[in-house]
Structure 1
Amino acid sequence: MQKQTTTNTEGVDVLENKPFEDDVFGKGRYTSKIYRLQSKAPTWLAALAPLDALVLQEEAWNAYPKCKTVIKCPYFPKFSLTIETIHKADNGNSENVHSLSKEQLASRQVENIDIAVSATDYWSYIVGSNSIDMTKFQSERTGRGPLLDGWQESCKPVMTAYKLVTVDAPYWGFGSQLEQAFIAGERALFHGSHRNIFAWIDEWFGATIEVIRKLEKQCISPFE
């Protein structure tokens, strides 16, 4: 997906991609990336900030069942976006997976993202979303699919990625607008990337870790 949305002046620059191990996530993969999003920013943000300021720095700790991503923007040093993910083999009905406090639960907004439903909003267009009809798609290698109405209850196996998104943009006058823009962008990214994971299942299912690493290198080759 990164390679799909890359041009000569924009895209994703992977600075680090290495294994890690700690007491929180266990064994996983650490990545450090730079995102250049000049043409993908909404008009009001592009007018507010210079083109070379629309750059994001991302650190990610990818493991299973937990992941964490932290995104910052040098031009807005007070801005921060954190995504904490917990994967569970259920249909999305687990409550308070992230063990939030009563205060956090009171302010939490829950959104259900259904990969069977296509999206046509602005951010889905910017992020890039496949046009595959999930109600007709079926994997040749696994037999999984199609995703018909109520698939969350009937499909086996099924897994939910519970994502806790925390964003802070303490800027008077436009901070709330900036927060909402990033939340909408992340929502579109979650939706599009997970649709792709399912739609491309025949390409990655059963692949060795060596093959996965080779695919990763192919995706970042334009920046090497």
Structure 2
Amino acid sequence: MAFFFMILMVYQEYTCSFIPKFHISIRTRYEDNNGSTENCLGLSPIELIHREVDFVDIAYDELSSKHYKEEEDPKFFQSQRTGRGPLVEGWKDTTQPIMCSYKLVQASFEVWGMQTRVEDFIHRCIRDILLLGHRQAFAWIDEWYDMTLEDVRHYEQKMQAETNEKVRLRNMNNEKPPTPTPTSSVPSSPLPKSPTQSTRSWFSWS
């Protein structure tokens, strides 16, 4: 009996046209294990020396309160269609089936005096995005469980169109001329410094 499986490798690069020294690259590989592969992405010996490994636990790593939703919390969520969840302590060693998303994130901001702080900030932001996104992927399993590859491509196109429309509408709102501020009937003479002065302004001190 033969078994076939697919290992998917994804490359993503992000740049900014008006910040030429800014660059982010993310290499991703998915494997059917709990993160046990030592060098999943095939790094060179030099890259391994400088590599910093960060395990992202979608159930027990702290998430920003502004993004937290109890219905998306893997500690409480249970899939109606698959019965998977909730994820308890030690879930990475006991849950089956399981898949790990291995990522190599490289950020470069070669601006003197700001490089270290900006690159550290980028890594923290990307970690937060990955934590939230993978929590949602688990909590939304009932919506995508039976999707075919064609369904996924159609969903991606739909989301891209909706996102582009939201951006277009926001840009239109930002380009609208400001609403004129109505003028008040304040007299041209200066306001009195205290209510005891004989000349009253339009504001009543009584």
TM-score (norm 1): 0.65
Q: What residue is the counterpart of 2:129 in the other structure?
A: 189
| Cα separation, 1, equivalents of 2:27 and 2:68 | 23
CA RMSD of aligned residues (A): 2.0
**Correspondence 1:142 to 2:142:** no
Question: Which residue identity does 1:147 align to in structure 2?
Answer: L
DSSP 3-state at the match of 2:20: strand
Q: What residue is the counterpart of 1:16 in the other structure?
A: none
Q: What residue is the counterpart of 1:45 in the other structure?
A: none
**Correspondence 1:102 to 2:45:** yes
**Correspondence 1:67 to 2:10:** yes
Deviations 1:59-118 (A, max 9, x none): xxxx95100100111221011111001111011111011222222111110000001125
| Cα separation, 1, equivalents of 2:143 and 2:51 | 36
**Correspondence 1:168 to 2:108:** yes
CA contact (8 A) 1:130 1:196 kept: no
CA contact (8 A) 2:21 2:109 kept: yes
Note closer, same or farther for the CA distance 1:90–1:202 as it changes in structure 2 (3 Å cut). same
How many residues are treated as equivalent by the alignment? 158
| Cα separation, 2, equivalents of 1:158 and 1:120 | 22
The structure with the largest alpha-carbon Rg is 2
Match of residue 56, structure 2, among 113, 120, 128: 113
Structure 1 or 2: more strand by fraction: 1
Report the identity percentage: 35
Q: What residue is the counterpart of 1:179 in the other structure?
A: 119
The aligned runs of 1:50-89 (5 Å cut-off) are 65-89=8-32
CA contact (8 A) 1:130 1:192 kept: no
